[in-house]
Amino acid sequence: MTSRMDARFAQLKQEGRSAFVTFVMGGDPDPETSLAIVKALPQAGADIIEIGMPFTDPMADGPSIQAAGLRALKAGMTLRKTLQLVRSFRDSDADTPIVLMGYYNPIYIYGVDRFLDDAKTAGVDGLIIVDLPPEEDTELCIPALKAGLNFIRLATPTTDDKRLPAVLANTSGFVYYVSITGITGAAAADSSAVGAAVARIKRHTALPVCVGFGIRTPETARAIAAHADGAVVGTALVDALRASLDAEDRATAKTVSAIADLAAALAQGVRGAQQAAE
């Protein structure tokens, strides 16, 4: 059976455009509002949704996403509730691929087998686990693939041709290319450098290559999408959410629309890349 991820990329290829991939933190600023945000993203133009699993000690996240994780944890978000968020989303959306992104520690504590069973049942399509290198594939990657979940690996500007085959060995769904050397939100992506990097990765794999880190505006999203199979935006959306909160970091009437409106503008940017190429 074709996975949701494969089906979505096949659809996008047929439409001749790149994917718009959004990242939001699960449970930020509270579980109820978070669900409303995730439900609004496909309507705003998101093709794939990454949901962060809140963790106290993230290593790849900049201040904005770190703060989002802490807001979520303060609001009572847990890994179990993150899976429930996906389950609730699936009540009204059976097609949009969902990827959980985060770190291994919460999964290890939850229990790998239990987590994979619950994730699959909830409707999760893939995992991005930042701190598990290929050398640790037996920990989670191989079991996840056996459970029918995509395991999406990160490649970076420092991943050379010698290292790349190991990174790609058990990768599925798509390859996530990190456009900058640094944490999320630290710098702007350079579209010309990204084009060369994506071409190099594609010489090693037939998987789609999506690019993230450093994409904040529709213009940057358009420039990146012209070179890649997808553009991933996280920090800009998280910042828009933060700006909509009250002084106590609680959701307001503007919170969901703040995310949806920015997502819609970014989605137009991604789609504009194909229009410009035609």
Active site residues: 50, 61
Reported as type and span, the H/E element at residue 67 is: helix 63-74
Q: Residue 45 in contact with residue 168, Cβ under 8 Å? A: no
Give 88's contacts (C-beta < 8 A, 6+ positions apart). Answer: 35
CA–chain centroid gap for 109, Å, is 22
Q: Residue 23 in contact with residue 237, Cβ under 8 Å? A: yes
Reported as type and span, the H/E element at residue 211 is: strand 209-212
Please report how many Cα atoms fall inside a 13 Å half-sphere around the Cα of residue 261, on the Cβ side. Answer: 9
Percent helix / strand / coil, the chain, rounded to 5: 50, 15, 40
Tokens 């097609």 label which residue?
Answer: 95
For the chain, counts of helices (H) and of strands (E) = 12, 9
Give 14's contacts (C-beta < 8 A, 6+ positions apart). Answer: none
Q: Residue 125 in contact with residue 172, Cβ under 8 Å? A: no
DSSP letter (8 states) at residue 147? T
